Chain A
Amino acid sequence: MIKQNLNTMGQSFQSEIEKATNIDEIDNIKVKYLGKKGKLADLMKQLKSLDKEEKIEIGKQANLFKTQFQDQIKEKSKQLKRVKFDQQMENEWVDITLDPIKTQMGSLHPITMVQNKLEYIFESMGFQVLDGPHIESEYYNFEALNIPTHHPARDMQDTFYFEDGNLLRTQTSTIQIRGMESLEPPLRIIGTGKVFRCERTDASHDSCFHQLEGMMVDKNISVAHLIHFMKTMLSEIFESDVKVRLRPGYFPFVEPGFELDMACLLCQGKGCSVCSRVGWIELLGCGMTHPNVLKAGGVDPSKYSGFAFGMGMDRLAMMRYGITDIRPLHGGNLNFMRRFTLK
C-alpha cells in the first residue's frame, strides 16, 4: 500500500515538474513534495507502522526519491531562470545612438598644440626649453644680436617701444643670448612664445604672433650639420621625409645666413596652387651664429661655433590645420575653438 503510494507520488512529481513553466510553480512543487509537511515527509511518518524489512526497503526508496526530486527541481529552476532572464534581457532595449549625458571635451589653442609638439620633438632631441620675457631691453633684442643702432630692423615702424626705453621683443632670438648666458657650451636650446611687431593687421599679419627659436653651440659646428639638423627636425614636424634647400638670407645675428625652403609636400616640388606654383615653401630663417653674438653670450668664437634658426608658429599651425586667416587666432571665438575638438 505504502509502496504503491510512493510510486504514485513519483509519477505525479514527474508530471508536475514537467508541466511547470515558471519559478513560482517550482517553489510550490518543492514545498508540496519536499517541504516539512510535504508528501515525502507524510510518507515517512507512515513508515513507523511497517515492519523492519519493509521499513528499510521503502526508506531506501524514499531517500532515492528525495535526491532525485532535489536534483530535478534544481535543474528545472535553472532552466526556467534562464528563460526568465533571457526574456527580461529581450525586453530591455536602449537607443545606444543617443548621447544624453553629453560628454564635453574642450580644446587646446592651435598654437599651443603646435608649440607642445615642437617642444616635445626638441626635448627628445636633447634640447632645453627656455623662456624669456616679452618686454625686453634693446640690448637683448638688438644689440647683443648684432643689430646695430641704425639697422633697418630697429625702425620705429617695426618695433613697439615703451616710454622707459624697453620694447616688446620682435623675435624669440633674445633667447639665444639668455641661453648662452645661463648655460655652458656645448648647448642645445629652444625658446617659444609671443613676439610683437607694429604692423597693421590683415589675413596673414598680426601685431602679435608666435615664434620658435633654436640654437646649437659646440666645437666645429658646420653648415653641413645645420642642413642635416633642419632636415631631421622638419621631417619630424611634418611627419614625412622632407626635402629642403638653403638660399642666402640676411639676418644680422648669423653669418652665413639662410632662408630655408621646404619642397611643397603636396606637389613634391613640382608646383601647385598651395605653393604658388614655385614648388617650394619659404619656411624659416637660419644660419651659423655670428661671432659677435657668441661673444655677447659669453662664448668664445675661436673655440666654438653654432647655428640658430627661427620660425613662425602661426604659419606652421595655419599650414597644419588649414587655417586661412591669422586673425581668429586671437579673441577666443567658440566657432573657431570648437574646430580643434576631436569629435
Chain B
Amino acid sequence: MKISLNWICDFIELNTDISTKELVETITLSVCEIEGYQETGTHLKNIVVAEVLDIKPHPKAEKLIIVEVNIGKSKQSVVCGAKNFKIGDKVPYVAPGITLPGNIKIEKAEVRGMESCGMLCAEDELYFSDDHSGLMLLPQDAINGCALDLVFPDQVDVIMEVDNKSITHRPDLWGHYGFARELGAIYRLPVKPLVMKSEFLKGEGKGIIDVDVNCKDLVPRFCGLSVSNVSVTDSPSFIQHRLTRVGLRPINNLVDLTNYVMLEYGQPMHAFDAEEIPGNKLTVQIAEEGTRLMTLYNKEVTLGQNDMTICDANGASVVAGVIGGLNSGVNEKTTSIFLEAANWDPVAIRKTSTRIGLRTDASQRFEKALDPEISMLAIYKAVKILRRVMPDIKISGQPVDIRGKEIKPIRIKTSFSFISKRLGKNIEEDEIRSILTHLGFTLKEEGNDIYLDVPTHRRTKDVSIPEDIVEEIGRIHGFNNITPIAPLFPIKTPAFNLEHQFRAMGRTVLIKTGFHEAYNYPLTNQSSEDRFSIVPKGIMKLLNPVADHQVQMRTSLLPHFVDTIKNNQKITLDFRVFELGRIYYKDSESQIKEPHKLITGLSKTKSSLGDAFFQLKSYTYNLMIRLQIPHIEWLPLEDKRTEFQHKHISAAIYSDSQFLGTIFSFSPEYMDRLNIKGDVCIAELDFDKMFLLEKREFTYKEPPKYPSTRFEISLLVPQRTFYETIAELIKGVDPLVSKVGFLDVYFPEEHPDKKSLSISIEFRSREKTLDTETVNELQDIVVQKLAEADYNLR
C-alpha cells in the first residue's frame, strides 16, 4: 500500500526539520515496515506556467504547430504536436537546459526548419497522470511564469510503500488517518480529531432506499445515505492527482470519492445508482447455494451459503465486502446515489474472498476487522467532499444506521511497574500516560495500577492484554532506546542431545572417507516410489499439493537418491554420496513414524566383479565401528531381497541379531531400467535403530603373554562357498584357534567351478607357549575337519 505524506499532513502538522529519511526510519522502527519511498514533484520547480499567445501552422509539417507563449518575463516560441488548447489557455512550459524525470533533457532545437525553444508538456510527462492525449491545461488563474510546484503544492510529496504484511494486525493503519495518529504519538503532536455533525447528514422527506440486514451476527454495522441531484464527471484535479500518486487510477467523481475516503479512513465504500435498485430496497443476506453474480470485472462468481450478499428485488447485486456486481455501480447517467459504508465480519469476508479467488482493496481491509465506528464518519466525509464540488446535492431522508454484532469494550488492567519490568527499562509514568493518550486510550489510575479503555480502532483485533500495552509503550518509546542487559542464569551444562551427536558423528566419519552429503526433498509422488516397488502402506498423502512431483511423503530415501546418483553420473562415474534424513509413514496402529535413515552410494568405473560392493562394505564397516555398533554381520539377503537388488551382490547387515539394513548392487535388469552406468553399490541403514543399540565400549585387555603360532592353508572349494562358513568352521575346531584370516582367492583354470582360497590360522594359549607337538596336532585336526566338510587342501 502506498501512502502520501501530504495526505497524512492533512491531519497533523509535522515539524519541518524532520528529514524524509528520518521520518521513514521512524515509521519503520515504531509502526510498520516501509519498503521504500519516493520524493515526488521535485521537478516541478523547473516548470513554469505559460499563457498561449498565438498558434500558427508549421510551414513544413502539417501535424505540427508553432505556439507562442508568455512565460512572465519573456515570450517563447515552441513547436508542438498537440492541439487540445486555444489562445489564452495556460500550459506547462519547460525551458531549454532543464532535465525532466526519466532523464529527458530539454534543448533548444530546430524542428523541421523552425526554431523551438523549450517544450510544452502533457500530464504524463510531469507525472500527474498517464494522460498523453494533449497538453496539460493549467488553472486559468495561474500566474504566467509561476513555477508549477507553487501551483500544485500537493504534488511535492513523499510517497511511502508500506509492506502490507506488516500491518495485518493493524486495522487502523489501512488509511492515512491511522498514520497521522501514530506520528502524533511519536512526536507528541496534536492530530485533528474525527468529529461529525450529524445534522449535516439529515435530509428532507423519506430516504429513497430501504435497507434490511438479515444476518446481523455477521454485520457489526451497516451505514448508508441517499443523495440525489448528483452528476457524474471527472473528479477535481486535486483528488485525481492524489489518487494517481498512491497508485489508484481516477475513474469518475463518484468512484473516486469512495476510493478517496477508503484511503483516508481505511473504510471501503460503495456507491449504488439509487435509481437502478429494483424495489428500492437493499437486503443483506446469506447467499443461496449456487447464486451466480457477474462482478464489476466482468467475471462471474458462484456463491454459497457462507457468503454474504447485498440484494435488490432482482437478487444478489453485490458480494458483500468483496466486490460489486456489474450493474450495481454508477454510470454516466446516474443522478442519485446510495452511499454504503458497512462493517462486515472479517472471517466471513476472508472465507468468501478465498473461495471466489478475489482479493480486493475492500476485502483486504475488511478481513483485518475494521472499526465499525468509522463507517458513518466515512459517509460524512464523502458527503463533505461531494458538497464542496457539487453544492446542489440533496440528501434524502435520514441516514441508514443498522447495528448488528456488538464489538465489546475492552478494559485492560496493568501497571506502570509491569510495563517497565517487561521492557527491562524504567519508563517515566508521564511518558506512558502521554503515549497512551495520543494513541487514543483512556486511562484511569489507582496507585500503581492502570485501567485502560482500548479505543474502538484498536479493539477489534490486536489490543487486549497487558503485554499489548507493553508493545505500545515500547515501540513509541523506541525499542532501540532500551539498553541491553545480560540475562542472569545459573551455570549448568545442558542435557546434550545424544541423537544429534550420534548423527553428527556419522556424517563426520562419512565425509572423511570421501562421501558428499546430499539433501533430497521429503516430498515425492507415487510413480517415483513405484520404481522400487516400495510397499504402499501408510503413505502420508497431501491434501493440497502444489506440484505433481510433491504430493506425498517419501517412505524411502532410495528413489530420490537413485536420481542423485544417475544425475551425477553425467558429471563423473567416480563419486560417493550419502543422505541422512527422515522417511515418513503411518504404522499398523495408525501412528505416524518419522525414522532417520542413512543411505550411502558409491559409483565407480567398472573393474572387477563386486568392486563397488567391497569398497562400500569397507566404508560402511568403518562407519559402524566408529559408531561403536557391536558384532556386525553381513549375511545373504535371501527372503529380505527385493526385485531391484542383485541376487548375489547384496547382503543384510546385522548387529547381533538386529537387522539394520542392506547393502546391494542393482540387478542387471534394474541397472538397465534405471539407466545406471559403471559399478554402483548402495547401503541403507536404520540410523535410529543403530542409535538405540547398546554400544560397544572400549575396554583394555592385556596383550597376550605367550606367542602365537601361525600357519597358512590353501583350499580348493566350490566357487560359491562363503569364506565366512569356512572361517566359522575352523574357529569351532578348538578354543586354541585364536584367529582366522582371509589371505587370497583365485580361480584356477584347471578347475572351472572351484576357487582356491588361502587362509591364515593362528593358535594361541593364554597359559603357555604351545609346543610343536600340540601345534602339529591342532593343524591335523583342522585339516581333517575341513576334509570332513569336503573342503580339501590344494
Contact = CB atoms under 8 A, between A and B. Distances in A.
B513 interface: yes
B467 A256 contact: yes
Nearest to B580: A112
A198 B515 CA distance: 32
A301 to B, nearest CB: 9
Interface stretch (A61-69, A85-93, A220-228): A220-228
B31 A248 contact: yes
A111 interface: yes
A178 B572 CA distance: 45
28 contacts: A106-B517, A126-B493, A150-B346, A188-B489, A196-B522, A198-B544, A220-B421, A222-B424, A223-B422, A223-B482, A224-B424, A224-B483, A224-B485, A225-B424, A228-B486, A228-B487, A247-B33, A247-B479, A250-B166, A255-B467, A290-B467, A291-B467, A305-B422, A331-B563, A332-B568, A332-B579, A334-B577, A337-B577
Interface in B530-562: 540-547, 550, 553, 561
Interface of B: 28-33, 166, 168-169, 346-347, 350-351, 354, 367, 421-425, 465, 467-468, 470-471, 474-475, 479-480, 482-487, 489-497, 499-500, 504, 507, 510-523, 540-547, 550, 553, 561, 563-564, 567-568, 571-572, 575-579, 582, 584, 592, 594
Interface residues on A, range: 35 or more
Interface in A176-200: 186, 188, 194, 196, 198-200
Contacts of A340: 516
Contacts of A228: 484-487
A333 interface: yes
A194 B650 CA distance: 33
Contacts of B494: 123, 126-129, 188
Contacts of A200: 546
Contacts of A105: 511-512, 514
Nearest to B32: A248
Contacts of A108: 507, 511, 517
Interface string A268-310: 0000000000000000000010110000000000000100000
A259 interface: yes
Nearest to A107: B516
A131 B499 contact: yes
Interface string A206-230: 0110000000101011111101110
Contacts of A224: 423-425, 482-485
Q: In the A-B complex, list the 10 residue pairs whose CB atoms are closest, starting with the nearest.
A: A332-B518, A224-B424, A222-B424, A104-B514, A256-B471, A228-B484, A106-B511, A332-B564, A337-B516, A106-B515
B522 A194 contact: yes
Given A156-B544, A337-B517, A134 B582 contact: yes
B522 A225 contact: no
Given A199-B546, A334-B572, A208 B522 contact: yes
B96 to A, nearest CB: 33
A227 B489 contact: no
B424 to A, nearest CB: 3
A300 to B, nearest CB: 15
A152 B106 CA distance: 51
B588 to A, nearest CB: 15
Contacts of B579: 332
B576 A166 contact: no
A160 interface: yes
Contact of B475 (A116, A126, A186, A248): A248
Which of B479, B493, B496, B592 has its CB near the most chain A CB atoms (within 10 A)? B479
A199 B550 CA distance: 12
Interface string A305-336: 10000000000000000000000011111110
B500 A119 contact: yes
Interface of A: 104-109, 111-112, 116, 119, 123, 126-131, 133-135, 150, 152, 155-156, 160-163, 166, 168, 186, 188, 194, 196, 198-201, 207-208, 216, 218, 220-225, 227-229, 231-232, 245-250, 255-259, 288, 290-291, 305, 329-335, 337-338, 340-341
A16 to B, nearest CB: 48
B545 A160 contact: yes
A106 B510 contact: yes
Which of B367, B507, B544 has its CB near the most chain A CB atoms (within 10 A)? B544
Contacts of A335: 571
A332 B542 contact: no
Contacts of B425: 222-224
Given A156-B544, A207-B523, A258-B479, A331 B567 contact: yes
Nearest to A153: B168
A318 to B, nearest CB: 14
Nearest to A162: B540
A280 B19 CA distance: 19
Given A207-B523, A288-B467, A134 B350 contact: no
A261 to B, nearest CB: 9
A64 B33 CA distance: 105
Given A107-B511, A224-B424, A160 B544 contact: yes
A155 B523 CA distance: 20
A3 to B, nearest CB: 58
Contact of A332 (B168, B346, B577, B592): B577
Given A112-B507, A291-B467, A331 B523 contact: no
Nearest to A189: B494
Nearest to B35: A278
B479 A223 contact: yes
A197 B124 CA distance: 42
A128 B489 CA distance: 14
Contacts of A126: 489, 491-494
Which of B347, B350, B482 has its CB near the most chain A CB atoms (within 10 A)? B482
B470 A288 contact: yes
Contacts of A221: 487
A193 B224 CA distance: 53
A334 B617 CA distance: 22
A291 B487 contact: no
A129 B550 CA distance: 30
Given A106-B512, A135-B584, A288-B422, A208 B485 contact: no
A207 B465 contact: no
B576 A332 contact: no
Contacts of A220: 421
A108 B505 CA distance: 12
B521 A208 contact: yes
Nearest to B518: A332
B577 to A, nearest CB: 6
Contacts of A216: 487
A265 B51 CA distance: 56
A161 B542 contact: yes
Contact of A135 (B424, B480, B497, B592): B592
Nearest to A278: B36
A227 B568 contact: no
A184 B166 CA distance: 34
A163 B547 CA distance: 17
Contacts of A201: 547
A109 B576 contact: no
B57 to A, nearest CB: 51
Given A112-B517, A332-B519, A248 B471 contact: yes
Contacts of A150: 346-347, 350-351
A227 to B, nearest CB: 4
A111 B520 CA distance: 12
Contacts of A104: 513-514, 576
Contacts of A119: 497, 500
B504 to A, nearest CB: 6
Given A200-B546, A223-B479, A256-B471, 13 more contacts: A104-B514, A105-B511, A112-B507, A129-B500, A135-B540, A161-B542, A186-B489, A228-B484, A246-B480, A258-B479, A291-B467, A332-B579, A334-B516
A161 B492 contact: no
Contact of B594 (A134, A246, A258): A134
A114 to B, nearest CB: 12
